[in-house]
Structure 1
Amino acid sequence: MSPTRRTLVGLGIVLLTGVASVVVYPDLPEQMAIHFDGSGQPDDYLTKPLAAALMPVLGLLVVGLFAAIPRLDPLGENFAEFERYYDLVAVVTVGILAYVHALVLGYNLGYRFDVAQVLAPVLSVVAVTFGYVVENARQNWFVGIRTPWTLSSETVWTRTNERSGVLFKLAGLVALLAVPFPEYFTALAIAPLALAALIPTAYSYVLYRRLETA
């Protein structure tokens, strides 16, 4: 997928979120729930015009950001080496915003669901996608496991990201268990993702020190 196609696909998803807002706008309440606590109860609200426009506008900004990152990154030339994986994370990110937007619209139209059950698949997709992306990412400042040690050594970057990709994919698969067992959402979805992020950070430091003293 070329940068132009990536942007067009992202804009297409954003357009769908905007159309969805317009179609259901007359049926939405004047104060819309946009955030929910751990028990699934709304704890933050926005006026209808702002809430209906929030995700489409945010999606538009995200599309622009992903278009700009390769130009802003001091190591931007490396993006060409993992372009299709970068395209994947860009499209999935915008798609997840659209999914969240659909949930917000649905809730405010009167549909009720268990927040943990509908968020678990999202976290799973995020983790598995990130896993595939990081294990193929080349050294850069925006995508992958970016620590002082991975950014200082290409060897540390490669080894850390390759291994962390497996961790994130496993964490994503475990997160799916929170769909049938939403009462264990934190243990099944949040904790594995936290570990998948923390372990590579420690690993990159240990590996860097080992290579430095070798």
Structure 2
Amino acid sequence: MAFFFTILPYLDPKRRLDSSSVNFQKLRLAMVAMLGGLLAYGLYMGLHPGTTSRGITVLLGLFLAFMGNYLTTVQPNYFVGIRTPWTLESPTVWARTHRIGGMVFCLVGVLLIGLALIVPARQMNLVPVGLILLTTAFCYGYSYFVFRQEEQRRNVV
């Protein structure tokens, strides 16, 4: 994963992704830490039968909360962020979508952590997947909504 993030900026067609920026380094560290944490917990679960997946849900919630915070600062590019045709076309749509989408991802992450600590593990099997799908669908729809609003403003003026 670290190697992938090293070559990723060179694959950006418009060279908008700056590998030396602090935000990009935070993303790189978060991805490597999340994957390392998931692998370590998976190994722990394999060595200790009967362990619940509660830890994985908490790790996922922490990651989503971090990513939500990160999304509010990411600049338009082709690899990181909420990349719909509308956000890639307009910097205004990109900024508004990432501001709201970041808040939603952060809230979903905190909600997942809370649910993982309160709800029994057996009942949490599909909750993370459902919340992530709903959040993704919301961000996609919101980016289209903002794009249409901006398009209407341009036509009026």
**TM-score with structure 1 setting the length:** 0.64
Query: Which residue number corresponds to residue 134 of structure 1?
Result: 71
Query: Is the Cα–Cα contact under 8 Å of residues 127 and 169 in structure 1 kept in the other structure?
Result: yes
Q: 1:73 to 1:213 in 2, by over 3 A?
A: same
Aligned structure 1 segments of 4 or more residues deviating by more than 6 angstroms: none
Alignment of 1:29-68 (within 5 A): 62-68=1-7
How many residue pairs get matched? 151
Task: Return the letter of the residue paired with 2:93.
Answer: V
Percent identity (aligned): 27
Q: 1:119 to 1:105 in 2, by over 3 A?
A: closer
Q: Note if 1:101 corresponds to 2:33.
A: no
Deviation at 1:142, TM superposition (A): 0.8
Query: Which residue number corresponds to residue 87 of structure 1?
Result: 25
Query: Which residue number corresponds to residue 116 of structure 2?
Result: 178
Q: Secondary structure at the match of 1:140?
A: coil
Structure 2, unaligned runs of 5 or more: none
Instruction: Choose the corresponding residue for 2:57, options 116, 120, 132.
Output: 120
Stretch deviating more after TM superposition (142-151 or 67-76): 67-76
Deviation at 1:119, TM superposition (A): 1.3
* Structure with the larger strand share: 1
Deviation at 1:208, TM superposition (A): 1.0
Q: Secondary structure at the match of 2:30?
A: helix
Q: Secondary structure at the match of 2:85?
A: coil
Stretch deviating more after TM superposition (86-95 or 156-165): 86-95
Task: Return the letter of the residue paired with 1:107.
Answer: M
Query: Is the Cα–Cα contact under 8 Å of residues 178 and 189 in structure 1 kept in the other structure?
Result: no
- Alpha-carbon distance between aligned partners in 1 of 2:48 and 2:124, rounded to the nearest angstrom: 24
Larger radius of gyration: 1
- Alpha-carbon distance between aligned partners in 2 of 1:187 and 1:102, rounded to the nearest angstrom: 22
Structure showing greater relative contact order (alpha-carbon pairs closer than 8 Å, 6 or more residues apart): 2
Task: Return the letter of the residue paired with 2:43.
Answer: L
Deviation at 1:188, TM superposition (A): 4.5
**TM-score with structure 2 setting the length:** 0.85
Query: Is the Cα–Cα contact under 8 Å of residues 72 and 98 in structure 2 kept in the other structure?
Result: yes
Q: 1:71 to 1:110 in 2, by over 3 A?
A: same
Q: Secondary structure at the match of 1:119?
A: helix
Deviation at 1:78, TM superposition (A): 4.8
Query: Which residue number corresponds to residue 194 of structure 1?
Result: 133
